[in-house]
Amino acid sequence: MRLGYSMSYWGGAGLGPADHLALVREAEALGYESVWAAETYGTDPASLMAWIAGQTERIALGTGVLQMSGRKPVVAAMTAATIDQVSGGRARLGVGVSGPQVVEGWHGERFERPLARARDYLEVVRLALAGAPVSHRGETLTLPLDGGEGKELALAVSPVQERLPVYLAAMSPGMIALAGELADGWLAIHFPPEHLAAMRAHLKGRDIDVAPMLLTLVEEDQELAYDMMRPMLSLYLGGMGSRRTNFYNRLAASLGFEKEASVMQEAFLEGRQGEAMAMLPDALIDAMTLCGPAGKLRERVAAYREAGATSLIVGLVTPTRRLRSRQLRLIAQLVRASA
């Protein structure tokens, strides 16, 4: 199982650029195979990966994930190819449809036909990265436009890698099937191993990188570990989406926590974040994160491997560079021990 480190979202943790870079370099020294940067409406992950490329040697550089509404697919291909060039062939392009709160509120587009849009997006990215003239007739995208003066254009820079890996963040059966059809990897955010094993069937047997992305904390005091997970997980389930459309909340409901997820979301959206955090059942935290003593997490990592995970991408919740450095070391040790 390959190990990745998600820098997640910058801001709020009191860490500056020098801290983040030091942690990435430490992850590389510890044998982490990849580093990933997230995107919402803050830092730009592509810029971060290009910056890190010049200050690392081996670690793969992933966008985890670029929002499809924020970059047209040809621009995503240009971005990935450029990072691949400056890094000597270490780029990974992770993309996702995001959700209506960000797509409509930040990018000014309707969140419509996400599955069709993702298909068109991946097909165009593939064409562009292959160096082919881009001609596409899809449900949501036509290139070149009909009846105009545009012509078929090809990407003017080639990636170093013969096939630059493209990852799709996917939660629904249809989106997971699309990852199996067109992507090189599936980013499974907050999936427990049991759910991962069941949903993996939608990949139709294609051999791609199955990469759960999980908030992770190695902590012998289990109650302290739960409490440290509550702020970030409650943000995902309560605030990363509208009242009507929150895919992480839906995931929690599908895992058997429908009532708890609904009540917690309502509290969060009404501004009662402290209550929302307290409402999170320990069992739900266990299901959607890696959280607790090293022995427990070794067994959990082994369960992910048994479920078909080929990579594990961890995000940290500890507040300081020193504590995050310690977590990187502990996680690397327990993943090796779980093999």
- For residue 221, report the phi and psi dihedrals to the nearest 5 degrees: -85, 100
Q: d(Cα 249, Cα 197) in Å, to the nearest integer?
A: 20
In this structure, which topology does domain 2-218+293-337 adopt according to CATH? TIM Barrel (3.20.20)
DSSP for 206-237? Answer: ---EEEEEEEEEE-S-HHHHHHHHHHHHHHHH
What pTM did the predictor assign?
0.97
Residue spans per domain, the chain: 2-218+293-337, 221-289
Under the phi-then-psi rule, with left for phi > 0, alpha for psi from -120 to 50, and beta for the rest, what region is 338? alpha
- Say what angle helices 45-53 and 17-30 make with each other, to 10 degrees: 60
Element (H, E) at 195: helix 193-199
55 contacts 20 by C-beta, under 8 angstroms: no
The pLDDT value recorded for residue 286 is: 99
> Which residues, other chains included, contact 296 with Cβ-Cβ below 8 Å and sequence gap of 6+?
222
**Confidence at residue 171, expressed as pLDDT on a 0 to 100 scale:** 98
Exposed / middle / buried, residue 107 (Cβ in 10 Å: 0-12, 13-18, 19+):
middle
What was the pLDDT predicted at 14?
Answer: 79
Residues of the chain with pLDDT under 50: none
Query: Which amino acid is residue 34, in one-letter code?
Result: S
Q: What percent of the chain clears pLDDT 90, i.e. is strictly above it?
A: 95
CA distances from 113 to 110, 117, 175, 329 (A): 9, 6, 11, 42
pLDDT of residue 13: 64
State how far the alpha carbon of 94 is from the alpha carbons of 46, 61, 256, 286, 337, in Å. 10, 10, 29, 26, 28
